[in-house]
Chain A
Amino acid sequence: MIRIPFVLLFSAALFSTGVYGVLARRNAVLVLMSIELMLNAVNVNLVAFAQGMQDVVGQVFALFVIAVAAAEVGIGLAIVILIYRNRETINVDEVNLLKW
């Protein structure tokens, strides 16, 4: 039985890797993947606590997060494809339309 603090350290490392990826990678697909890392870090946390507290609600939440993440990736990749078709690039720093 792995003790919870180890699991939390692991998930924190995973989440930080995801944050770094979101902020630093230029490729939109990699950004999406980094978001997946962050979500899965949360999932690990949820499952670990559910196990530690002998409560199944955490696992149910983790399943929900997986379902939402699947939908998010679906929509996110569709957006990336559309951006590529329009602008011939998937570098997020070149797509700076979100301003005045």
Chain B
Amino acid sequence: MVATSGAGQAGATELAWIVALLPFLAFFLIVGFGKKLPGKGAELGIIAVGAGWLMSVAILWHFVTGGGPTESTIRWFEVGNFELELGQAVDGLTAVMLVVVTSVSLCVQIYSLGYMHGDSRFTWFYSMLSLFTAAMLNVVIAGNLFQLLIGWEVMGFCSYALIGHWWEEKVNSDSAIKAFITTRTGDIPFLFGIFALVVATGFATSNIGEISEMAERGDISTFWLTTAALLLFGGAIGKSAQFPLHVWLPDAMAGPTPVSALIHAATMVAAGVYMVGRMFAVFVHADPFALTFVSAIAGTTMLIAALLAMVQDDIKRVLAYSTVSQLAYMVAGLSLGEAGYTAGLFHLFTHAFFKALLFLGSGSVIHAVHSNNMSEMGGLRRHMPVTFWTFVIGSAALAGIPPLAGFWSKDEIITLAFKDGHYIVWFMAMATAVITAFYMTRAVLLTFFGEYRGHGHPHESPATITGPLVALAVAAAGVGFVGAPQLGAPFADWVHFGEEAHAEPFSYGFAAISIVGALLGLAAGYRLYARWRERDPLRALGPAYVLLENKYFLDDIYLRGIVRPIQYRVSAWANGFNEVVLDGVVHSFAYLARGLSILVDFLDRRAVDGAVNGVAQVTGESGGLLRYIQSGNVQRYAAFLFIGVAVLTFVFTRF
């Protein structure tokens, strides 16, 4: 049974599910046959996601040319009156995300050819990348909440596997566990949020479109909507690394750099923001308190994460905190209500490209100098020109320098925040913008300028690494224009909430303020870091620096306050459970098995053997009787023959 709704000719959008299916199949094929292939399975992943990319572009084209959303479902199973569907809901937002996910995944997979070359678990790495991509694509196309949850959880597992890819070092496996458990903490409210919505619809549906319609019509009470919105946002806090569950994301840097790029740009963290965008009707029609809560979290997160990014020495950690901060930007955009919907998702779109670029660029640097620390880099612009220029483009895009991608999306959020009267959010966003420009300037200067401070002779990375960098740099420079108001802001036509696209506010005054802010940060960064100093100039901040260096002691608080007490109690309890219950169960099964064997032994000897031997004996004895007939005497045989004939004759004549 396939139900399709939608206006006009649907075309490629009907086949969006294939985009998600391809990497999923690739996962199985790589696991099954990857090692036997000449490319060790990498080619399967790249072909699958490449084909998915082409299809995604075709799907996006459908919306660019003014097509309407489509939805198709098949029935999955039924519990009582509750019917669960498996299906796809494709609208402009889905199409944009499909393109983002597949293009970043494609770049990451090509990049990994060079970066992971010679890795002992190369094939496994590619299978996980494929599964990760498939899970994210499933989240993107999911038409109902339970399907979305499946992709959501599979991603959690894949991030665990990939962050801990080099598990031989304990730090890496610890980070993987931390990422998994921290995001799981957010998943619990998310799951309850889904339940709350299903209950609120009277167990009628879990379809996102139908729930949104009910929320708009007011069929769901405000109380339920508010509860569900807060719980769902709990999931976003975990997955999209918002305060106070942002701690896993910087540690996720322990994974290979392509994984960081994939997690931070296209999948995982984007899933949280995307989910809020998907369920936006629930947030908008809930009590205003829900969105206020969201913006409070977002405002806090963007500022504290940006401050942390200032003091990191590990280049990937700078980018990690930057991601946390930029995700908070997106969430803040969404928290502005209907008007901010497009702005927040636009930032998600542009951020994916330039953050992927920055991560892959940092990977290229790390590949060359064999260190994550910026104190051991420096002067690399002469050794690695391609990496340098692409990294600069990415940094400028992140810092919000026009006309690169980040400028358009950030400016939109900042302007909206002020115009809608959210002055606190506006202030936080402006401050974050300044700090962002500052720390990116710092990162570029420490990495690429001055004298080389590391070991060995760094050299430019191979083409499989620089190729994706250039492609992403072009995207990071260009994608912002689809949201440029001067060009009619086509992005708002593809992705909008409510009846018609909101005209995007743009004023040259606000743009000027943003640019001045970015330049201010840039200048401050240049002033402090133009010359390499052994001692970080920010140490002059004194106690504040110590606070930042220790990440506000949040990790310690979590460790001492939550993890340790629970850990010991849980392990003691688990031990007791193991000894009493599990052992008890095992032992009783053993006794049961022993009793059964005795019974079976008896049956075997008496009944089964008896039957077999009995048959043999009967056969033998009857054979012994019959052998007397077969004497070998021909005349006796002839006598039997005549007797037989006589008997037959008698029988045939009488009857």
A contact residues vs B (CB 8 Å cutoff): 19, 22-24, 31, 92-93, 95-100
Contact = CB atoms under 8 A, between A and B. Distances in A.
A96 B632 contact: yes
A92 B636 CA distance: 10
A23 to B, nearest CB: 5
B630 interface: yes
A100 B627 CA distance: 9
Interface in B605-638: 627, 630-635, 637-638
Nearest to A94: B633
Contacts of B631: 96, 99
B638 A96 contact: no
Contacts of A31: 635
Interface residues of B, number: 11
A93 B627 CA distance: 18
A100 B630 CA distance: 8
Contacts of A96: 631-634
B642 interface: yes
B634 A92 contact: yes
A99 B632 contact: yes
A48 B635 CA distance: 30
Nearest to B627: A100
Nearest to A26: B635
A31 B627 CA distance: 26
A22 B637 contact: no
A96 B631 CA distance: 7
Contact of B632 (A19, A22, A23, A97): A97
Contacts of B637: 98
A99 B626 CA distance: 12
B639 interface: yes
Contact of A98 (B627, B634, B639, B642): B634
A23 B642 contact: yes
B337 to A, nearest CB: 103
Contacts of A97: 632
A22 B638 contact: yes
Contacts of A92: 633-635
21 contacts: A22-B635, A22-B638, A23-B638, A23-B639, A23-B642, A24-B635, A31-B635, A92-B633, A92-B634, A92-B635, A93-B635, A95-B634, A96-B632, A96-B633, A96-B634, A98-B632, A99-B630, A99-B631, A99-B632, A100-B627, A100-B630
Contacts of B634: 92, 95-96, 98
Contacts of B632: 96-99
Nearest to A28: B634
Contact of A93 (B630, B633, B642): B633
A99 B629 CA distance: 10
A100 B631 CA distance: 9
Contacts of B635: 22-24, 31, 92-93
A96 B630 CA distance: 10
Interface of B: 627, 630-635, 637-639, 642
Nearest to B637: A98
Contacts of A93: 633, 635
A24 B631 CA distance: 16
Give the one of B627, B632, B642 with max A CB within 10 A.
Answer: B632
Closest 6 CB pairs of A and B: A99-B632, A96-B632, A99-B630, A98-B632, A96-B633, A23-B639
B287 to A, nearest CB: 100
A98 B632 CA distance: 4
Given A19-B642, A23-B642, A97-B632, 11 more contacts: A22-B635, A22-B638, A23-B639, A92-B634, A92-B635, A93-B633, A96-B631, A98-B637, A99-B631, A99-B632, A100-B630
Contacts of B633: 92-93, 96
Contacts of A22: 635, 638
A14 B633 CA distance: 25
A69 B387 CA distance: 111
A31 B639 CA distance: 13
A95 B637 CA distance: 13
Nearest to B633: A96
Nearest to A100: B630
Contacts of B638: 22-23
A19 B637 CA distance: 13
A22 B642 CA distance: 11
A14 B284 CA distance: 120
Contacts of A98: 632, 634, 637
A92 to B, nearest CB: 6
Contacts of B630: 99-100
A99 B634 CA distance: 9
A99 B642 CA distance: 19
A99 B632 CA distance: 4
Contacts of A19: 642
B631 to A, nearest CB: 6
A75 B401 CA distance: 119
A60 B634 CA distance: 32
Nearest to B639: A23
B626 to A, nearest CB: 10
A84 to B, nearest CB: 16
Nearest to B629: A99
Contacts of A100: 627, 630
A28 to B, nearest CB: 9
B424 to A, nearest CB: 110
A31 B633 CA distance: 13
A69 B284 CA distance: 114
A92 B630 CA distance: 15
Give the one of B630, B635, B637 with max A CB within 10 A.
Answer: B635
A100 B635 CA distance: 16
A96 B637 CA distance: 11
Give the one of B634, B638, B642 with max A CB within 10 A.
Answer: B634
A25 B582 CA distance: 89
B632 to A, nearest CB: 3
A96 B639 CA distance: 15
Nearest to B642: A19
A74 to B, nearest CB: 19
A24 B642 CA distance: 13
